[in-house]
Amino acid sequence: MDLEQEIKRRRTFAVIAHPDAGKTTLTEKLLLFGGAIHVAGAVKSNKIRKTATSDFMEIEKQRGISVATSVMGFEYGNVKINILDTPGHQDFAEDTYRTLTAVDSVIVVIDAAKGVEPQTLKLMDVCRMRSTPVIIFVNKLDRTGQDAFDLMDDLEQQLRVRVCPMTWPVGNGPAFKGVYNRYEKNLELFVSGEKQTIAESVKIDNLHGSELDKHLGEFAGRLREDLELVQGIYPVFDLSDYRDGKQAPVFFGSALNNFGVRELLDCFIDIAPSPKSFETEERTVRPEEPKLSGFIFKIHANMDPNHRDRIAFLRICSGKFRRNTNYLHVRLGKNFKFANPTAFMADKKSVVDEAWPGDIVGIYDTGNFKIGDTLTEGETIHFRGIPSFSPELFRYVENVDPIRYKQLAKGLEQLTDEGVAQLFVNQANGRKIIGTVGALQFDVIQYRLEHEYGALCSYQPLPLYKACWIESPDKSEIDEFKRRKWPFMATDKEGRNVFMAESHYALAASQEKFPNIRFHFSSEF
Ligand code: G4P
């Protein structure tokens, strides 16, 4: 197959959700459909969040398991599907944001009883920033949930996207009868058996005919009314609006009961985009370009002390990736070749000889890569769009063992390259500051410094509100700001100016006092 055909048949996406909405269950059902796994329970990474938050070792252990499920590739018909897993635990939200830079679309899972939840909102903000196409799956229809119209309002208002119901539910909870598929024009009946639930599909050509009454009884009239309203209120499905991230098709179902999942998957492979173009600092890279390019969006360290290697995850953006071929590591200006690049098929890993745009390749790394690094066949380009977000938790990090100062510095450098946390240096006192989005990362860093680098660190509290990057066309303005805010100025790893606001008030007051200075809440500006 040639490059263009390989690109056309790929779908690379992530399933995102607020914890407990059913992301793991849905992912598993998708894999079952693809024949990639044969028993439920194979996708465990998300169970991480179910452990006590203080038990980070347990979490790290499970993160180890999750390497295998970081990417789940499978074939469905002639389509190659790559699902990128995202951590469920909110302290690892930044991992999720970065993973979203490597996908072409997402499926959002919503709990029908809870509607839009806080984590869904944050994740959707990131999707909106990038105009990522979104399909919504409203889950748990077998439980008593909100009225479907209320849910639609909630989705539309909170997620700020036009919704287009592709299926429509008939009842919910104990009275859940099934879903009407507006596009296939059939009724999927939800039949509760003794032990399991089975779906029965009925073709309905005439919504006003007796066939509908036969299957739905008293619910038929309500469905007819609902569908008329739906038609009046919501736009028809528009492929380009969906691809531009302006319209989100909505499906209803129950992942646990494997109900409504096939419809979702079939529609997904029809409408979801194949690998897209990516922006670099220098130019737009199209997937059909013959030469390889890609970027590292995730680095996973091995927690086993006998195997110190890390896996860097490369998203291929253009051309064909080949094993044992020299590629330019743009930041280091050096060529590297990879003897054992890994592809991920469901819960298995295997060495690959070639891979295509949209695919994710795992590269064994001994410390050469950091998040955002670009690989090419020689061209100097830099992929954009791997932002760091403003951390909100801060601590000074101190060296405990003076003889091992170098190990500590190296450990901090590498762990922050991996994206575990962000490292800053206070401009006034030269002390190192670690900033994170979740409290767990402090424990992870301390543990890993000791066990992987033989360095001991301690923390000192630093009660700050937020770090933000500042810039202005007028250098004197920045100088004046720094003079006033000297104790709160820091430098990030790229040498940029970062304001460590001590409170919401201090930030607002500074913004007011220095109107020409721009305050950025993600590192990409
Ligand atoms: P997450 O990855 O989004 O965090 O959610 P996960 O799939 O782990 O699902 C969270 C809980 O919701 C699980 O129950 C799961 O079985 C249940 N669930 C998922 N889909 C449905 C559905 O369609 N209907 C109903 N009724 N429940 C659903 P749990 O008891 O927390 O875990 P488990 O012991 O069943 O694994």
Q: At 252, list the tokens.
A: 């209803």
**Cα 92 to averaged position of ligand 1 atoms, centre (Å):** 20
Protein residue with its CA nearest to atom 16 in ligand 1 = 256
Q: pTM of the full predicted structure?
A: 0.85
Query: Any idea what DSSP says for residue 391?
Result: P
Per residue in 53-81, pLDDT (tens digit) is: 445 555 555 554 455 557 888 889 899 99
Protein residue with its CA nearest to atom 22 in ligand 1 = 140
Give the residues across from 167 on adjacent strands. Answer: 181
Q: Which atom of ligand 1 is nearest to the CA of 47?
A: 8
Q: Which atom of ligand 1 is nearest to the CA of 259?
A: 23
Question: Average pLDDT over the chain, rounded to whole?
Answer: 87
What is the percent of the chain where pLDDT is above 70? 88
What is the percent of the chain where pLDDT is above 90? 58
| pLDDT over threshold 70, residue 196 | no
Q: Which of 454, 372, 447 lies closest to 417 in space, CA to CA? A: 372
Q: Which atom of ligand 1 is nearest to the CA of 255?
A: 23
Half-sphere exposure of 422 (CA within 13 A, CB side): 32
Q: At 523, list the tokens.
A: 């590192």
Per DSSP, the residues of 304-357 read -TT---EEEEEEEEES-EETT--EEETTTTEEE--SS-EEEETTEEEE-SEE-T
Protein residue with its CA nearest to atom 19 in ligand 1 = 22
Q: Which CATH class is domain 3-271?
A: alpha beta
Query: Any idea what DSSP says for residue 115?
Result: B
**The two domains 281-376 and 393-520 share their CATH topology (first three levels equal):** no
| Rounded Cα distance, 138 and 110, in Å | 5
| The CATH number, out of the four listed (3.90.1170.50, 2.30.130.10, 3.40.50.720, 3.30.70.3280), of the domain defined by the range 393-520 | 3.30.70.3280
| Rounded Cα distance, 515 and 486, in Å | 18
Q: Which atom of ligand 1 is nearest to the CA of 17?
A: 3
**Cα 23 to averaged position of ligand 1 atoms, centre (Å):** 8
**Cα 256 to averaged position of ligand 1 atoms, centre (Å):** 7
Q: Which of 325, 274, 323, 316 lies closest to 292 in space, CA to CA? A: 316
| Rounded Cα distance, 75 and 64, in Å | 25
> Domain spans of the chain?
3-271, 281-376, 393-520
The pocket around ligand 1, CB under 6 angstroms, is made up of 17, 19-25, 46, 88, 139-140, 142-143, 254-257
Confidence at residue 39, expressed as pLDDT on a 0 to 100 scale = 56
| pLDDT over threshold 80, residue 88 | no
Protein residue with its CA nearest to atom 34 in ligand 1 = 47
Per residue in 305-334, pLDDT (tens digit) is: 566 678 899 999 999 999 999 999 999 999
| Rounded Cα distance, 245 and 129, in Å | 10
Is 503 or 384 the better-scoring residue by pLDDT? Answer: 503
Give the residues across from 466 on adjacent strands. Answer: 501
What type of residue sits at position 9? R
What type of residue sits at position 272? A
Q: What are the distances in angstroms from CA 92 to CA 98, 216, 249, 441?
A: 10, 45, 28, 8
Q: Which atom of ligand 1 is nearest to the CA of 88?
A: 4
Q: Which fold has domain 281-376?
A: Rossmann fold (3.40.50)
Q: What are the distances in angstroms from CA 494 to CA 12, 219, 417, 424, 519?
A: 31, 62, 11, 10, 17
Angle at 185 between CA 184 and CA 187, to 5 degrees: 105
Of the listed ranges 380-384, 391-395, 440-444, the least confidently predicted one is: 440-444
Confidence at residue 50, expressed as pLDDT on a 0 to 100 scale = 45
Per residue in 252-293, pLDDT (tens digit) is: 999 998 899 988 999 999 999 999 999 999 999 999 999 999
Confidence at residue 175, expressed as pLDDT on a 0 to 100 scale = 87
| Rounded Cα distance, 167 and 173, in Å | 17
Burial class (CB within 10 angstroms; exposed 0-12, middle 13-18, buried 19+) of 482: middle
| Rounded Cα distance, 333 and 339, in Å | 20
